[in-house]
Amino acid sequence: MKFTPRPLSENVNVSKTHPLAELAWMLGGLALILLVFYLLVGQAVEVVAERLPAGAERWLGRQALKNFAVAENPELDRRLQTLLAALPVDSPLRRRDFQVWVAATDEINAVALPGECIVVFRGLLEAVASENELDMVLAHELGHFAHRDQLKGLGRGLVATFLTMTLFGNDSSAAGLVASLTLSFDARYSQRQEAAADAWGLDLLVARYGHAGGAVDFFARLSRRDDAPRLAYLRASHPHPEDRIRNLERRIAERQYRFETVVPLDSTRLLAEPPRP
Amino acid sequence: MLRVLAQNADLVIFLFLTGLGYTAGSIAERRHYRSISRREAELLHLPVVTFKNPYPEESVRSGVMMMGSVVISIDYFKRLLAILRNIFGGRVTSYETLVDRARREAVLRLKEAARQKGCDMVVNLRLETSTIGQSANSRNSVGCVEVLAYGTAIALRRL
């Protein structure tokens, strides 16, 4: 037999699919699966959050509180009680025993934790200028409790983390990709929650003082201080301060709330007690 | 804008490496395939076969073991595709070109070495592969594949 070498015209060992097409298919599929799973579990979390027993919620709150170096603040507690007194008599929040803590952090923020804890960061106390502003912040956090956001947010965060960890393990670059995908779903959700808490807080502020003075001052100051571009707020948990101001002003106009002079705040009294380490 | 980039540095680096992997990887692959086709055509008349020496002993002038080996690296883009494949299952097509290039390049190098030695053909061809960079799918490490082609290059006695 004579050997006749022939060149191969076709390569059977390499698939013809274009790599970019493959990437698009797989990323699309992944996003879809995550979206469906996230929505389903998100729904489940809402159901659980509505029905979680108070004891379990307090336990969760104590665990969450361990992350902050907090000190009690009787002055803030008194303010919160005054705010609660302005709530309608049948409000379920009246039956709960809230406590305000001050965390020794310069960050301008406050968080609602499960249980009945509100943690106000020291940086925020230094940044507020009037009693009305401070009460607006507290009322906003109470709004989260009214909507049970403290549990829903925690639940969704846990699910998102669990999801990425199970799928990809702790350190793979795909985990980062998926985390940012879920984060953007989550950001949309949490920005809606914040807007709802703002609206709820505004109503409570008006119930407490009889006018909406101080409702937007704080966000206006934040907005001037904040030079981050709007794009950064796509993935942020909170809406852009300017959007918050716009939403609040719309509600103020709709409900015809009045503006009156605000009560200046003596923040030295608030910050007098050094926070416990 | 810069601040957004800085805040998402990990994502930016990831996208950059993936993009770089795609462009550089595609260019390198196309060039490599061109070179492979050209050299395969050149060396077409030097047969490489997998069976053992079919010739009677007196007609073989010399027989010597020859090796051709090559290491080819994956890029971030191929790795991303493979990681996504890990989730869905199926053919990891992004690695197909990689091992195909490695196999053909290794055989080509074997043939070139045989031709330099003045041999007429390579019999008893065997291929071995191994990975270099053990945890090819873990962060910050990109794996490579090595293909080693070896066989017996024989020179025939002209009668």
Any chain B CB within 8 A of the CB of A13?
Answer: yes
Retrieve residue B75's tokens.
Answer: 């890029």
One pLDDT digit (tens) per residue for chain B, 159 residues: 677 777 677 778 888 988 999 999 999 999 999 999 999 999 999 999 999 988 888 889 999 999 999 999 888 899 889 888 888 888 899 999 999 999 999 999 999 999 999 999 999 999 999 888 765 555 556 678 899 999 999 999 876
Judging by DSSP bridges, how do beta strands A99-103 and A70-72 pair with one another?
antiparallel
What ranges in chain A are assigned the alpha helix state H? 19-51, 54-65, 74-85, 122-127, 131-146, 149-168, 173-209, 217-225, 241-254, 267-271
- The total number of residues written for chain B in this structure: 159
Tell me the domain boundaries of chain A. Answer: 29-271
User: A159-181: buried (b, 16+ CB within 10 Å) or exposed (e) per residue?
Assistant: bbeebbeebbeeebbbbbbbbeb
Q: Do B14 and A176 touch (CB under 8 A)?
A: yes
Q: Which amino acid is at A222?
A: L
pLDDT one-digit tens code per residue, B31-67: 999 999 999 999 999 999 999 988 888 889 999 999 9
A177 touches chain B (CB under 8 A): yes
Per the CB < 8 A criterion, the answer to whether B71 and B132 are in contact is: yes
With 0-12 / 13-18 / 19 or more C-beta atoms within 10 angstroms meaning exposed / middle / buried, residue A182 is buried
Left (φ > 0), alpha (ψ -120 to 50) or beta: where does B140 sit? left
Q: Do B8 and A180 touch (CB under 8 A)?
A: yes
Tell me whether residues A3 and B97 touch, CB distance under 8 A.
no
Interface of B with A (CB under 8 A): 1, 3-4, 7-8, 10-11, 14, 22, 40-41, 44-45, 47, 76-78, 80-81, 83-85, 87-88, 91, 93-94, 96-97, 99-100, 103, 137-139
Rounded Cα gap, residues A83 and A118, in angstroms? 14
CA–CA distance, B106 with B102 (Å, rounded to integer): 6
Given the candidates 3.30.1330.10, 2.60.120.10, 3.30.300.30, 3.30.110.70, the CATH classification of the domain at B2-156 is 3.30.110.70
Determine contact, residues A270/A126, Cβ cutoff 8 Å.
Answer: no
User: Which residue from A3, A176, A232 is facing B10, i.e. has the nearest CB?
Assistant: A176
Of B3, B45, B100, the CB nearest to A228: B3
Chain A nearest-CA distance from B96, in A, is 5
N-term to C-term CA, chain B: 78
Q: Does A228 touch chain B (CB under 8 A)?
A: yes
The closest alpha carbon to A238, from A111, A117, A101, belongs to A111
Residues A67 and A101: beta-carbon distance below 8 Å? no
Contact B80 A228 (CB under 8 A): no
Spell out the per-residue pLDDT of chain A, length 277, in tens.
677 878 878 888 888 889 999 999 998 998 898 788 878 887 888 888 778 887 888 888 888 788 778 888 888 888 888 888 888 888 888 888 888 888 888 888 888 888 788 888 888 888 888 888 888 888 998 888 888 887 777 777 777 777 766 666 655 555 656 666 566 666 667 788 888 888 998 888 888 888 888 888 888 887 777 665 565 565 567 778 888 888 888 898 888 888 888 888 776 767 765 544 4
Best residue in A14, A173, A233 for a mutation probing chain B (most B CBs within 10 Å): A173
Q: Round the average pLDDT of chain B to a whole number and report it.
A: 88
Q: DSSP character for A275?
A: P
Q: Which of A6, A23, A232 sits opposite B3 (nearest CB)?
A: A232
